[in-house]
Structure 1
């Protein structure tokens, strides 16, 4: 069974040239579009869930802070 792609074709099409440019400029490594797309998909598969989970944790933290702020504002109005 083939592994699912974590990035859409449109995302891969947009990101592949950026990765190619970065590798060429920073590491003097030239890779083709297919290899760049394959590498991006590999990286997304390996670290995508960790990045997603961290983003969810950050969103929960921000939401909790906002809820605390709203609760404080309500308590202030009740006085």
Structure 2
């Protein structure tokens, strides 16, 4: 899996990286360096965030499926064989 950002996404993210480095580390970097840092974090740390998102989505899906199963169970009509 290769995580890629669109040009528009990079244009939104790079200034945030530059601002963070300036405000928190008193380090000014250009667009190239900020984009290079973004690429590094995307490749090295991005999969952890991606996987967390997958796990969270799976947990939500499981909850929703339980709700659907409960709703279907409530639709059942009593029969002589019901408990």
Question: Taking structure 1 as the reference length, what is the TM-score of the superposition?
Answer: 0.84
Q: Is 1:75 aligned to residue 73 of structure 2?
A: yes
What is the rounded CA distance, in whole Å, between the counterparts of 1:19 and 1:49 in structure 2? Answer: 19
Partner of residue 28 from structure 1, selected from 22, 26, 29? 26
Contact 1:13–1:37, Cα closer than 8 Å, also in 2: no
Consecutive unaligned residues in structure 2, runs of 5 or more = 78-83
RMSD (CA atoms)? 1.6
Which one has a larger percent helix, Structure 1 or Structure 2? 1
Q: Aligned partners of 2:49, 2:75: CA distance in 1, in Å? A: 39
Q: Which runs of 5+ in 1 are unaligned?
A: none
User: Partner of 2:45: helix, strand, or coil?
Assistant: helix
How many pairs align? 76
Of 12-21 and 58-67, more deviation after overlay is shown by 12-21
The TM-score with structure 2 as length reference comes to 0.81
Deviates more, 1:11-20 or 1:59-68: 11-20
